[in-house]
Structure 1
Amino acid sequence: MRTVRESALDVLRARGMTTVFGNPGSTELPMLKQFPDDFRYVLGLQEAVVVGMADGFALASGTTGLVNLHTGPGTGNAMGAILNARANRTPMVVTAGQQVRAMLTMEALLTNPQSTLLPQPAVKWAYEPPRAADVAPALARAVQIAETPPQGPVFVSLPMDDFDVVLGEDEDRAALRTAARTVTHAAAPSAEVVRGLAARLAGARSAVLVAGNDVDASGAWDAVVELADRTGLPVWSAPTEGRVAFPKSHPQYRGTLPPAIAPLSRCLEGHDLVLVIGAPVFCYYPHVPGAHLPEGTELVHLTRDAEEAARAPVGDAVVADLALTVRALLAELPVREAAAPAARIARAESTAEVDGVLTPLAAMTAIAQGAPANTLWVNESPSNLGQFHEATRIDTPGSFLFTAGGGLGFGLAAAVGAQLGAPDRPVVCVIGDGSTHYAVQALWTAAAYKVPVTFVVLSNQRYAILQWFAQVEGAQGAPGLDIPGLDVAAIATGYGVRAHRATGFGELTKLVRESALQQDGPVLIDVPVTTELPTL
């Protein structure tokens, strides 16, 4: 006879989920006791860091992340990171311990009194099994829901006295049968819908393509590039790039659309048809009112997310698998020689300094020159994102991670998880000094597990992105936007991470190159930079 613990672990094995990111509390110890040798437990010192690491791990490895939190307080600490995971559409199972069933009614210490309500609306599904025998099947169901497009985090509350309960043979077998099920998500549009879309593209006077995060996540990258090549369409990135969805070195690439209504509409002027693939229509912030589209412009939205299609303010939508849809569309389009695209603007590079301090573009150029070609980039320097993309020109899928949720705390933790999820690739995390401190405890995990991430911290001693928002929103004079006195290198050293301070272009390139090629553990490079605020 086997216990709930043994059955639950076998469910996780069957789903390939043997890496657990956690911060244990007393209610989690019964689940973790006699921890098996074929599982890996990655400890984070704070719950938001734990979820951020699982987020990066899942995105980099293409698997489903597994998180173990401490009942209500731990879940509360992790909520911002869970919201980021939802925005990133990261498949993730978040578990949390619960008080023993005999004391739930009296709400004893560490009872999560409304366990399934606390994580909402950040999760797709929240559940507390009604019986101990339901723990393993609930975990199996959670994985299926997390992996169903649109993918995202789910939550399972697990009473601590369930794990030593002995299961009957039928209950044990039922759980394993549930875990072994496969669900294939490959919904294709009807031939009539595809022909209609092909006709609209062929009849358009000046069509334009907008590619979003889900192009990369869904495996539609090659099909979308072929579509652009076949049609000669100019291509924009959708606002709020959590992943690079189109090669930035491609001659038809035009840049990233601004995340505000009126400026975005101006970018689309002159086009009578906009084809959006794998992105919301559109992710706006700040609010700059205007027409969502230019006069006379139509829009068609291809997405795997029915809710995303429903909330779009303009355009028609097709909800289906992106790769299947684009390939079917290619089969309907006439084979013709595309018009010669406009020449791509040359890559901007800079070694400029202001009063001996590197500009953001100069720092990004130095970092890009030092990083290997197969680098997996993680970014959380929002005020310098334009300079980052200009310097790196990422042109391969699965090579860039940035939170699509807008909340800070993703970058440092996600980079550690990404390196664990993609150990054969160098991971370089470019992050602001303000962003660093939302998940600074991730440095300890990187050092303790010898995770060879290169962290490059761009230090301007302020929340520059907030200073920009203050300008846009007419909120000048708001307090708390400067953060002087930080010594990021000293903090990293305190967590056991080798740290350097780079002040010159060549020194920064050399340090990045040396760090990215080694496997001895994390390295942090602190780089003072000037402040340049974004523009719409």
Structure 2
Amino acid sequence: MTTVHQACYEILRAQRLTTFFGNPGSNELPFLKDFPEDFRYILGLHEGAVVGMADGFAQANGKPALVNLHSAAGTGNAMGALANAWNSHTPLVVTAGQQVRPMIGVEALLANVDAASLPRPLVKWSAEPSCAQEVPLALSRAIHMAAAPASGPVYLSVPYDDWKQEAGPGVEHLAGRHVETAGMPGPDTLSRLASALEMASNPVMVVGPDVDACGANGSAVTLAERLAMPVWMAPSAPRCSFPTTHECFRGLLPAGIASISRLLEGHDLVLVVGAPVFRYHQYEPGDFLPKGTRLISITCDINEAARAPMGDAVIADIAGTLRALAETASQASRPMPVARVRPALAEEEAGPLAPERVFDILDEMAPRNAIYVNESTSTTNIMWQRLRMTEQGSYYFAAAGGLGFALPAAVGIQLAKPERRVIGVIGDGSANYGIQALWTAAQYNIPAIFLIMKNGTYGALRWFAGVLEADNVPGLDVPGLDFCALARGYGVEALHADSSQTLITSLREALAGDRPVLIEVETRA
């Protein structure tokens, strides 16, 4: 007899989902029973950190990752992290244990009441199978749904008495299934896109995270060079999709309506690739586009295409469409954009380090293929100005702005990319939301470097307090934190830096080793 448990592990094995990220409870134990030797289980001490690690792992790998949560309580703890995964199009298969079927209706302890509704709207698909024999099919569907464009998290609740039941007939067909998406635009559409770009007198391109996610940064560079276009990163970009050292690169767009419109002034065509149009933040009313400016977006997400307040949209395969445009567009006769002037190196000053000085040192010392995971939100613009990020997959940020992403994501990314050094740059306020991931880094010897920017305050909130004219607001400072003590308590080596020289020494030691290290850096508020 093939059990539901056996059938599901065969599906997972065939689909190469052999790494689990989880924090189990009693409902999940029957699923984890007799855990196969060819699988690995990465334990996290909090569900938010678990999903954050899986998020980083899946983004870096470009493939679905499996998450195992505990019923409703564990799912609730993970919801903030799910918001980031949803907005970054991260393919996660989130499983949650449910009470046994006879106990769900009476709402016994640990019953996940209305389980399929709980994680919505932060998942693409959510289900609880109606009987045990549907579990393998539901798992197979979840995997394919997570990976299909636009990829994203899905959720499957399974009563724990289902795993020992006999699987239904035909279950053997599920493990070997492959689902592919062929989403290239037709010749007429490609011709219209190329013609629009060629006929524009001053086009500009805005690239978003899906360009980096599909490995198309090189095609974006080729297209920009062919058409001599300046290139902006989309607002609040969770990935870096264009080399920051390239002469066409202009920087990170702000997240306000009026500010974006001002920066796009003078361009008759805006081509947005792999990004929402646009992900605004602070309310800054104004014209969505300058007068006389046309916008065309290429996206893999029908929801992003439909909700955009302006412009035309093409829903298509990002990598293939960019490559085709780069190959077919004619070479522009106009000169290339003038390269940005890199900011001068920050001067050494007494006292806590200026963030500019921290990033100058980091840029000088880190390997050129380093991966940066950012959650120092108040210094994001400085980071984009001063770090040379040129490789595919060099930068990650919380796509929904939810704190607690960077520290666990750095662990997951380093696990997926052991050949590159991962450096998390994290504010002292943000670090507390995912601090439990330090334990996982120590236990599995995952050699990420965690650079804590310690200034004793929520810097981004202080900036917003000024924008919103909100005076005398409580709760903006976080004094008295000792991240070196916290790190050592979780088993991670910790170093303290309060000057350029101590930061240089600490980074040199961390980069030379093969173990996780936290560096607490005293910075200015």
> What TM-score results when the alignment is normalised by the length of structure 1?
0.96
How much identity, in percent, do the aligned residues show?
50
Q: CA deviation at 1:6?
A: 1.1
In the alignment, does 2:469 pair up with 1:469?
no
Matched AA of 2:171: D
Which residue does 1:378 correspond to in 2? 373
d(CA) in 1 for partners of 2:334, 2:68:
52
User: How much does 1:213 deviate?
Assistant: 0.7
- What is the aligned partner in structure 2 of residue 522 from structure 1? 516
Amino acid at match of 1:480: G
Distance 1:157 1:171 in 2: 22
Residues 186, 324 of structure 1: 8 Å contact kept: no
Query: What are the residue-to-residue correspondences of 1:330-369 with 2, within 5 Å?
Result: 330-336=326-332, 339-353=335-349, 355-369=350-364
Equivalent residue, structure 2, for 1:273 = 269
1:510 matches 2:509: no
The equivalent of 2:420 in structure 1 is 425
Q: Which amino acid aligns with 1:104?
A: I
| Aligned amino acid, residue 35 of structure 1 | F
Per the alignment, residue 105 of structure 2 pairs with 105
Show the 5 A alignment for 1:130-529. 130-167=130-167, 170-173=169-172, 177-336=173-332, 339-353=335-349, 355-519=350-514, 521-529=515-523
Supply the distance in 2 between the matched residues of 1:57 and 1:351 (Cα, whole angstroms).
Answer: 37
Contact 2:47-2:74 within 8 A present in 1 as well: yes
More displaced 10-residue stretch of structure 1: 126-135 or 48-57: 126-135
Give the 3-state SS of the residue equivalent to 2:27 in structure 1: coil
| Alpha-carbon separation, structure 1, partners of 2:197 and 2:415 | 43
Shift of 1:336: 4.9
Kept after mapping to 1: 8 A contact 2:197/2:269? yes
Task: Provide the rounded CA distance (Å) in 2 between the counterparts of 1:326 and 1:469.
Answer: 37
**Alpha carbons 2:184, 2:316 under 8 Å: kept:** yes
Partners of 2:347 and 2:484 in 1: CA distance: 23
Q: Flag structure 1 segments of 5+ consecutive residues without an equivalent.
A: 532-536
Q: SS state of the match for residue 20, structure 1? A: strand
Cα shift at 1:262: 0.5
Query: Matches of 1:486 and 1:336 in 2, distance apart?
Result: 55
Which whole-Å CA distance do the structure 2 matches of 1:363 and 1:244 have between them?
20
Contact 2:496 2:502 in 1 (8 A): no
How far, CA to CA, are the matches of 2:518 and 2:325 in structure 1? 46
| 2:461 aligned partner, one-letter code | L
Aligned partner of residue 318 in structure 1, secondary structure: strand
Distance 1:80 1:326 in 2: 33
2:226 and 2:331 in contact (8 A); partners too: yes
Q: Deviations over 1:479-530 (max 9, x none)?
A: 11111111111111111111110112132123223212321x2110000101
2 CA distance for matches of 1:228 and 1:391? 22
Structure 2 residues not aligned, in runs of 5+: none
Deviations 1:146-199 (A, max 9, x none): 00111100000010001111235x3431xxx22322122231112222222222
SS at match of 1:116: helix
Post-superposition, which runs of at least 4 consecutive aligned residues in structure 1 deviate over 6 A? none
SS at match of 1:28: helix
* Rounded Cα–Cα distance in structure 2 between residues aligned with 1:419 and 1:326: 29
Secondary structure in 2 matching 1:357: coil
SS at structure 1 position matched to 2:222: helix
**What residue identity is the alignment partner of 1:229?**
E
Distance of 1:371 and 1:466 partners within structure 2 = 29
SS at match of 1:137: helix
* C-alpha displacement of 1:200: 1.7
- Matched to 1:495, the amino acid is Y
SS in 2 for 1:97: strand
Question: Aligned partners of 1:453 and 1:439: how far apart in 2?
Answer: 14
Give the SS at the match of 2:94. strand
Q: Secondary structure at the match of 1:179?
A: coil
Decide whether the 8 Å contact of 1:85 with 1:153 is kept in 2. Answer: yes
